[in-house]
Structure 1
């Protein structure tokens, strides 16, 4: 999709840029889409399909077992979707989720969390928290290998942490795994009424 290529390159797009990339007039695009928001939703759907996250395939397709295992697998796939298109994150967070494919993932996540006894009144809070962890972790994959300049750190605790953290994808994956552990433990406490 032309708009996604533009976003991957610059972090933004205009209707005129998309039309130019497609070699059509901007007015021609409006025969197919009604707004920039609709294009953003189309990109969100495409990213989910590319990552195997869709109503047809289901984010949790093939995942069985305890809810914790299912949520962990779901969020890993979700992170990978946006790891390939990190510049899309600010755009998708600025528009209402409406794509049937994307809503299908949220339906599955809500049903999984409800089955884990998360109260209905807190389901959307937990889903929002999952989004926050996933988007942050996807953005972290774009971080430089050396995220913190150890020579500028003054705290012995921070210096030791930086030296032991590792770098690149390994550091990011380890941090994401820890975030998932904490997130799932928190969801379990919430479900238990703690």
Structure 2
């Protein structure tokens, strides 16, 4: 069979090319995606609408392997801990995508199910409806921030010698960005769970 004269395009190919550019450079554009795929920019618009459409498709792609969690079979804190780790695991290979994701409305149904699971678990924990969105947002801060930490430099703070002694001692052995991110995420998550337990006793 003769090869096609032009590369075969698909939504998946476009999204994966855009994600490759984001992972490599921190951003993408339709001209760069077209160049990556060896097609004209106009050809992309037979498959996608605009930049925002591509970003939302990238969101769906990176979360596509996440499995729905049976929250009914687990204690609420174990379920929320598992959800948080699954959520973060979807982003750790694509931390440069995070700034693009947070800048637009979530529409992907698969990602929406994660938030539905979070809301279900938080209601099971005993949070009032008015506290569920603040709790989800706090968890978002934790997950997204820890993913962004993976793009940080090896040295985050560089205090002058002899000044800021407490900070200097605290940062003496922080490890790599990945180690810092993992440690801070675990600390923050357990702190959040403890806070939720307290709120369910005292109210919000």
Check the 8 A contact 2:60/2:110 in 1, yes or no: yes
Distance 1:126 1:153 in 2: 40
In structure 2, the residue corresponding to 1:141 is in which secondary structure? helix
The aligned runs of 1:1-194 (5 Å cut-off) are: 1-49=16-64, 52-53=65-66, 57-58=67-68, 60=69, 64-149=73-158, 151-152=160-161, 154-163=163-172, 165-168=173-176, 169-192=178-201, 193=203
TM-score of the superposed pair, with normalisation by structure 2: 0.82
Distance 1:6 1:61 in 2: 35
Check the 8 A contact 2:95/2:147 in 1, yes or no: yes
Aligned length: 187
Per the alignment, do residues 134 and 25 of structure 1 end up closer, same or farther by CA in structure 2, a change over 3 Å counting?
Answer: same
> Structure 2 stretches of 5 or more lacking a match?
1-15
Deviations 1:100-141 (A, max 9, x none): 111111111111111112221222221111111101111113
> Structure 1 stretches of 5 or more lacking a match?
none
Question: Which of 1 and 2 has greater Rg?
Answer: 2
Check the 8 A contact 2:19/2:58 in 1, yes or no: yes
Q: Structure 1: which 4+ aligned runs deviate by more than 6 Å? A: none
Distance 1:63 1:139 in 2: 31
Task: Output the aligned Cα RMSD.
Answer: 2.1
TM-score of the superposed pair, with normalisation by structure 1: 0.86
